[in-house]
Amino acid sequence: MTPEDTTISTDFIREAVKEDLASGRYNYVRTRLPPEPNGYLHIGHAKAFLIDYLVAKDFGGELNLRFDDTNPAKEETEFVEAIKEDAHWLGIEWGDREFYASDYFDDLYDWAVRLIKAGKAYVDDQTPEEVSRNRGTLTEPGVNSPYRERSVEENLNLLERMKNGEFPDGSRILRAKIDMASGNINLRDPAMYRIIHEPPHHRTGTTWCIYPMYDWSHGQNDSMEKITHSFCDVGYEAHRPLYEWFLEQLGEFMPRQIEFARLNLSYTVLSKRFLRRMVDEGLVSGWDDPRMPTLRGMRRRGYTPEAIGEFIEKIGIAKNYNMVDIALLEATVRSDLNIRAERRMVVLNPLKVVITNYPEGHTELLEAVNNPEDESAGTRQVPFSRELYIEREDFREDPPRKYFRLGPDREVRLRYGYFIKYEHHINDENGEVIEVHCTYDPETRGGYAPDGRRVKGTLHWVSAQHAVDAEVRLYDRLFTIENPLNSEEGKDFTDYINPDSLQILTECKAEPALTDVQPGYRCQFERRGYFCADIDSTADALVFNRTIALRDTWAKIRKGN
């Protein structure tokens, strides 16, 4: 595509890039994707990643993946691999353009020396507490460090010795010399290097014991890589003057930083820190718990990368604070899976049905459509016999108004099977229905009545004799309130965890076509929702996760009554 191409969607970021190309500020586009390898990716990262990737792609540019590994205390190789895997899964490609902030430690050090020589940086011996106290407050200016006017020679010497490991952690920092009275606190002589001896860095080992701060690394790395556009969270807006100050002082290539609003999703939290807490406190089973908004969790739950991409496109890009309704995410997967997922019949809460006029010991195969939305998906054979399972909720002794399913004196259709008519039912000693006896109409094979009579309800079913046992895990929203972080006084977000966010069903009966499915297999269970075989699933013990339930009009009617 060319910059003039009007088919490029017109969010304010793409508009800005287009303008930069038109004005000649840049004559190519190169973005960067800068994860810190200190945790797993969540759907909020997916938004940022996709912006970096797709903007570059739309303008025929390049994407640099660059791990922001400037703090050895928090970062691990394990996360590097996990992030790459998740990003690939999302469909993001960066070819061999894979970099690390730590690739630039030597060059960055040289740039720091240049800044000292220009009188724009100094080594400060104040304690962390003194630095903090002297920074001032939002309304009062800070006060200059007593070490601010050291000579260039002394600063050079001290920085060198910091690098050589002569000083303990926290004893000194290198600071930019800007303005302790600035209204923008980021400009009050921000720290550039701090001393960290332990632990060793995941890539550079013990080579370094001084590490750059974000502000003294990110923009410099962008510049070194000749990044044209550096997209980030609005939280970094106040850092932009600093980003530009450093590069101006150095006279180096100037990328353009553009900020956009991070994604907030209702009924969940999108913050590495809080997600980590849930994992650490055992509130969920891990980073890949299917209830987690992490990419790994969502993948395990059965979300497709296409659905996530679609969702990100739908929510758009702006600078407003936002709280996106999770219903939009749910609607998006539903619509994605509706088109691609094959249908199967699985009874979640089985109730036995005996077809009294069906020959004992007989089995026949009935043809079922795999996907009504996709003819090329073909058909399959489903075994039918005298004893079947239907959903417990599909029979009522005393059917309420507008209930279209099985009940006394009612006739319903078994999907792709026959019409069956109620005869009688059996209760156990507790009054619980344990068996329903029906007759079938042999003329309605396949579910059509030659005499044209109609039935209100169509039920899914599984032949008892041919059923495969399965465990099914039903998931619901993780939190009971829209914004768990905006909690009442004295309450923690964990106080709002939905106690019913996981329900495990162990007596489920699946049609035999599901016997051999592998973990990751996705399909729709007719009338129930979209499901995905879990990584715990084996040939001997099938386990399915519910990705999302089908839209349920009946539930709404019931609720309204």
Which residues are designated catalytic?
36, 262, 272
Round to whole Å and give the CA distance between 129 and 135: 10
The Cα-based distances of 5 to 9, 14, 310 in angstroms read 10, 11, 22
Q: How far is the CB of 88 from RNA (least distance, A)?
A: 21
Q: Which of these segments, 102-110, 211-219, 286-294, 507-515, binds RNA (CB under 7 A)?
A: 211-219
Residue from 319, 424, 453, 491 binding RNA (CB under 7 A): 319
**Alpha-carbon distance 37 to 81, whole Å?**
9
Q: Taking each helix axis as running N to C, give the angle between helix 77-90 and helix 305-315, from 0 to 180 degrees, rounded to the nearest 10.
A: 80
One of 320, 376, 430, 561 touching RNA (CB under 7 A): 320
For 186-319, list the strands marked E by DSSP. 191-195, 210-212, 229-233, 256-260
For β-strands 173-176 and 191-195, DSSP reports them as antiparallel
Element (H, E) at 157: helix 152-163
Under the criterion CB under 7 A, does residue 323 sit at the interface with RNA? yes
> Nearer Cβ to RNA, position 454 or 540?
454
**Segment lying near RNA (by CB under 7 A), choices 86-94, 106-114, 396-404, 514-522:** 396-404
79 versus 403: smaller Cβ distance to RNA: 403
**Crossing angle (nearest 10°) for helices 305-315 and 43-58:** 80
Least distance (Å) between residue 354 CB and RNA = 21
| Interface with RNA, residue 186, by CB under 7 A | yes
Rounded to whole angstroms, the Cα distance separating 34 from 232 reads 9
Q: Supply φ then ψ for residue 521, to 5 degrees.
A: -65, 135
Residue with tokens 């399965």: 470
Site string for RNA, 220-249 (x = CB under 7 A): --------------xxxxxx----------
- Per rule CB under 7 A, is residue 191 in the interface with RNA? yes
Using rule CB under 7 A, residue 169 touches RNA: yes
- The CA distance from 259 to 318, in Å, is 9
Task: State yes or no: residue 58 binds RNA (CB under 7 A).
Answer: no
Judged by CB under 7 A, does residue 64 bind RNA? no
Residue 278: CB minimum distance to RNA, A: 18
CB of residue 208 to RNA, shortest distance in Å: 12
CA distance 199 to 484: 34
Which of 28, 448, 491, 515 contacts RNA by CB under 7 A? 448
Q: Is 336 in the site for RNA (CB under 7 A)?
A: no
334 binds RNA (CB under 7 A): yes
**Strand locations in 397-541, DSSP E?**
411-414, 419-427, 433-440, 458-459, 462-463, 468-475, 502-510, 522-525, 529-533
Q: DSSP letter at 423?
A: E
Decide if residue 403 touches RNA (CB under 7 A). yes
For RNA, the closer CB: 131 or 289: 131
- Determine which residue in the list 218, 386, 466, 522 makes contact with RNA, applying CB under 7 A: 218
Q: Which of 117, 402, 424, 453 binds RNA (CB under 7 A)?
A: 402
- Is residue 316 near RNA by the rule CB under 7 A? yes
Quote the CA–CA distance of 211 and 33 in Å, as a whole number: 21
> What's the closest the beta carbon of residue 472 comes to RNA, in angstroms?
16
Q: Which H or E run includes 346?
A: strand 346-347
CA distance 66 to 96: 11
Residues touching RNA, count (CB under 7 A):
94
Q: Which stretch binds RNA (CB under 7 A): 56-64, 208-216, 276-284, 377-385?
A: 208-216
Q: Mask 127-166, x = binds RNA (CB under 7 A)?
A: xx--xx--xxxxx---------------------------
Q: Is 477 in the site for RNA (CB under 7 A)?
A: no
Q: What is d(CA 427, CA 135) in angstroms, rounded to the nearest whole number? A: 76
Between 289 and 406, name the residue whose CB sits nearer to RNA.
406
Region binding RNA by CB under 7 A among candidate stretches 22-30, 168-176, 223-231, 299-307: 168-176
Residues 14-43 that bind RNA (CB under 7 A): 15, 34, 36
> Which CB atom, from 161 or from 314, has the smaller least distance to RNA?
314
Decide if 31 contacts 231 (C-beta within 8 A).
Answer: yes
